[in-house]
Amino acid sequence: MTQETSKYAWRMQASFACVIFFGQKFLEDKFGMVPGKLIDQIHTLNRQDVLENLFRQAMRCSDLDSFKQLLSKAKE
C-alpha cells in the first residue's frame, strides 16, 4: 500500500466514524436516550452512503420507532 493510498484509507475511516458519531448525537438530541442495542445495530452498517441517507431520513421521523423501521430497511 502506498503512502497516498494509506492516507486515503485513513481519511475514509475517519469520515465514516464522523458520520456515525454525529448521527448518533443527532438521534440523542431528537429522541433523548437511544438504547445501546439500537446504536449497536447502526454500527453494523458498513456503507457511508447508507448511513448518511439513514440520518437524513431520521430528520423526518416523529419518534424512535419510525427510525427503527428505517434502520431495518437500511440493513436489507
Domain coordinates in residue numbering, the chain: 3-74
The pLDDT value recorded for residue 56 is 94
pLDDT per residue as tens digits for the range 23-72: 999 999 999 999 999 999 999 999 999 999 999 999 999 999 999 999 99
The pLDDT value recorded for residue 9 is 76
CA separation (Å) from 54 to 10, 25, 44?
23, 14, 13
CA-based torsion, 19, 30, 64, 57: positive or negative: negative
pTM of the predicted model as reported, rounded to 2 decimal places? 0.82
The pLDDT value recorded for residue 5 is 76
